[in-house]
Amino acid sequence: MIVVTTPTGQIGREVLSLLLDADQDGATPVRVVVRDPARLAPRDRERVEVVRGSHADPAVLKEACEGADRIFWLVPPTPGVEDVDGHFRAFTQPLLEVIDSRSGPERVVAVSTLGRGVARDAGPISASLAMDEAIAATGVHYRALCPPALMENLLRQAAPIRDEGVWTEALAPDRVLRTCAVRDIAAQAARLLLDPSWTGYRDVALAGPDDLTPEDMARVVADVLGRPVRLRRITSAELKATMIRHGATEAWARAIADMTDAQNTQGFYGASQPATPGRTPTGFRQWCEEVLAPALRG
Q: pLDDT tens digit string along 94-128?
A: 999 999 887 789 999 999 999 999 999 999 999 99
Residue 23 is assigned to a structural domain of this protein: yes
Q: pLDDT band for 187, please (50, 70, 90 cuts).
A: very high
pLDDT of residue 28: 87
Q: Which of 43-52, 55-64, 175-184 has the lowest mean pLDDT?
A: 43-52
Q: pLDDT band for 185, please (50, 70, 90 cuts).
A: very high
What's the total number of domains in the chain?
Answer: 1
Distant-in-sequence contacts of 169-172, Cβ < 8 A, 24+ apart: 169/214, 169/231, 169/232, 169/233, 169/234, 170/233, 170/234, 170/235, 170/236, 170/238, 170/239, 170/257, 170/260, 171/214, 171/260, 171/263, 171/264, 172/213, 172/214, 172/264
Give the pLDDT mean for 32-47.
Answer: 92
Residue 44 is assigned to a structural domain of this protein: yes
pLDDT of residue 26: 67
* Cα–Cα distances in angstroms (integers) from residue 239 to residues 144, 214, 234, 265, in the given order: 28, 16, 7, 16
| Count of Cβ atoms closer than 10 Å to residue 124 Cβ | 21
Q: What pLDDT, in 10s, does the model give residues 250-276?
A: 999 999 999 999 999 999 999 999 999
Q: Which residues contact 290 (CB under 8 A, 6 or more apart)?
A: none
The share of the chain scoring above pLDDT 90, in percent, equals: 93
Q: What pLDDT, in 10s, does the model give residues 192-248?
A: 999 999 999 999 999 999 999 999 999 999 999 999 999 999 999 999 999 999 999
pLDDT of residue 243: 96
The mean predicted confidence, pLDDT, of the chain is 95
Residue 73 is assigned to a structural domain of this protein: yes
Residue 222 is assigned to a structural domain of this protein: no
| Count of Cβ atoms closer than 10 Å to residue 54 Cβ | 15
H helices present in 137-279, as ranges: 158-164, 182-193, 214-225, 236-245, 250-266
- pLDDT reading at 23 higher than 80: no
The share of the chain scoring above pLDDT 70, in percent, equals: 99
- In this predicted model, which residue has the larger pLDDT, 298 or 223? 223
Residue 219 is assigned to a structural domain of this protein: no
Residue 190 is assigned to a structural domain of this protein: yes
Residue 171 is assigned to a structural domain of this protein: no
pLDDT of residue 250: 97
Longest dimension (CA), the chain: 57
Residues 218/230, Cβ–Cβ less than 8 Å: yes
Residues 72/4, Cβ–Cβ less than 8 Å: yes
Q: Please give the residue range of the domain that contains residue 96.
A: 2-148+180-205
User: What's 189's domain CATH number?
Assistant: 3.40.50.720
CA angle 284-215-237, nearest 5°? Answer: 110
Radius of gyration in angstroms for the set of CA atoms belonging to the chain, rounded to a whole number: 19
Residue 294 is assigned to a structural domain of this protein: no
